[in-house]
Amino acid sequence: MDSSAILIEKRIILEKYLKDGLNSYQSLLACNSDALFAIDLAGYYVFLNPACEQITGYSQEEIANKKFFEILALEDVAKVSSYYYQALEGSLQNYDCKLIQQNGQLVDLNITNLPITVNGEMIGVYGVAKDITEIKRKRRRLKDSEELYRILMENSMDIIVKTDAAGNFIYVSPVCEQILGYTPAELVGQSSLEYIHKDDIDRYLLNYQKAIHIQPKSLDTYRLRKKNGSFIYMEILSNSYRNSDKEVRVISVLRDISERINADLDKKRTEELLLQSEKLSVAGQLAAGIAHEVRNPLTAIKGFLQLLNVDQRQKDYIDIIHSEINRIELILSELLVIAKPQTMKTAKTNIKEVIEGVKTLIDTQAIMTNVQIRTVYLSPLPEILCDENQLKQVFINFLKNSIEAMPAGGNITIQTECTDKKEMIIRCIDTGSGIPPEHLKRIGDPFFTTKEKGTGLGLLVSKKIIENHQGRIQIDSDENGTSVAVILPIK
């Protein structure tokens, strides 16, 4: 018997087998959403259920004269043929392929093939096909979305991070290394709290918990620590969500706004300097007028007081008047320092000798009030061009202020160093109770003082002297004491 006769014979056996075997399951086959079919040894379709007709677009009669590969996408013919012959050898096969519907549209299918045997003889192949077109489309969309997400994450100029409910890093975008100095691998698994400035942690925690439990979105500014130990201002926008396992995740976008913050601070400092300059200008104008108008009659009063012949009791009153007149003259002298440029007698000066001389001068007063003064030279001090006497006046003024700030005793450290910016810094650091913030803001205002016998002009005079030396004064204070830094150019 030739091969074609054998194929026909086996097809007849297959048709009878399917008719006898499937009659009992016609209703089940009719309502099954999966496509069920059978193929003979020649590759022709023998049976299709209604779902198969719906997926292919062919009726039983239309497809009866077609081989299975005739309705496959060309690129899948070889692959599906291979699976078909492997099924004929007795093994179950599962694969994906594309089918061309009668209207020309492509359909994605997942197909399972298994052999049909009768009395140990192979007579055909069963097929179960699932339409996975929509699943494939969703997968492609998901893949495209994931690819887009990856591109955005990895190429954004802002840092993008994913954290868990405890704030531990799960993902960190590569640009982090450029901005903060850390590679993503260095941060993943670490707590984000470790990199927030200690003064911002409470606010960060509060907003983080709000983002998780109350308000899904939060926006605020925090200081983050860079790998080199410095801090930068970052604006952080956070959004929380739950993943497929119902676990809390927070996506945050971190933007470096240090330049903006620093620009705002510079603007504020400039405005404060302009305001201070305006105050000094007004004070100078007032000072010049007051000093000249008051000094002349004051000199006359002082002269005539000396000519009076008075008894001892009246002499005590006269002494008080003399004392107050001397105080007025001191105020007038300080006003004139502010009001007009002072003649500077500059020369190359050894600052260390100036500091040691001032320390010796002040030591007696310090010892009487149980204050210890020590000097710390962090680097060698070169000679600088300055007016020695004016700088002595400044250092004496600051040391006296520190002593008066510690009535119960304490320590004063005079610390000096040179920076790589060609500047010399002389700090006067005390261990007093510090300057209250509301007073610190007003230091340098003309006539502002908290001392019983203060004029409120000492710092103003010192500031003018240092500015005449192209330097500046910086004051820092808290409950542990006050540090006054005089910063002078080295030239």
pLDDT of 49-95, one tens digit each? 888 888 888 887 887 778 888 888 999 999 999 999 999 898 899 99
For helices 312-339 and 258-307, the axis angle rounded to 10 degrees is: 140
Counting Cα atoms < 13 Å in the Cβ hemisphere of 187 gives 27
Sign of CA dihedral 379, 380, 386, 388: positive
pLDDT for position 488: 92
Look at residues 434, 436, 439 and name the one whose alpha carbon lies nearest to residue 484.
Answer: 434
Counting Cα atoms < 13 Å in the Cβ hemisphere of 407 gives 1
pLDDT for position 53: 83
156-256 and 347-489: identical CATH topology = no
Residue that the structure tokens 């450290």 belong to: 413
**3-137: which CATH topology?**
Beta-Lactamase (3.30.450)
Domain ranges in the chain are: 3-137, 156-256, 262-339, 347-489
CB 113 within 8 A of CB 125: yes
pLDDT for position 343: 64
Structure tokens, 189? 């698994």
CB 393 within 8 A of CB 332: no
Name the pairing type of β-strands 231-242 and 248-256: antiparallel
* Helix then strand then coil, % of the chain, to nearest 5: 50, 25, 25
pLDDT for position 17: 72
pLDDT for position 282: 54
CATH number, domain 347-489: 3.30.565.10
pLDDT for position 188: 93
CATH number, domain 156-256: 3.30.450.20
pLDDT beneath 70: ranges in the chain: 1-3, 20-32, 146, 148-155, 266, 269-298, 300, 304-314, 316, 327, 329-343, 439-458
**262-339: which CATH topology?**
Helix Hairpins (1.10.287)
